[in-house]
Amino acid sequence: MDKQIPQVDEPMLLTIQETMRKLRVGRTKLYKLMGSEGLPVLRSGRYVRVPSDLLQQWIKERVQQGV
């Protein structure tokens, strides 16, 4: 049951807005997830992106942990 659903033209790095839409959370909640919940991000100055493959892995791990 470790199959991934193929994504059409899924970008490797998601913007904050794209990540908010995918997780269906607001900006404040997303930054909380990045800061204290271990959501993986790539930062360079003000540039913040979420690697889409690591986002899927993070979600799977949280589901398995029952969080």
Higher pLDDT: 3 or 26? It is 26
State yes or no: pLDDT of 7 exceeds 80: no
Provide the CA 40 distance to its chain's centre, in angstroms.
7
- pLDDT surpasses 70 at 4: no
Q: What is the separation, in whole angstroms, between the first and last Cα of the chain?
A: 19
The pLDDT value recorded for residue 67 is 73
pLDDT in tens, 19-62: 999 999 999 999 999 999 999 999 999 999 999 999 999 999 99
For residues 64 and 52, give the distance between their C-alpha atoms in angstroms, rounded to a whole number. 19
**Is the model's pLDDT at 8 over the cut of 70?**
no
Contacts 24+ apart (CB under 8 A), 17-25: 18/50, 19/50, 19/55, 22/55
Kindly tell me if the per-residue pLDDT of 66 is higher than 90: no
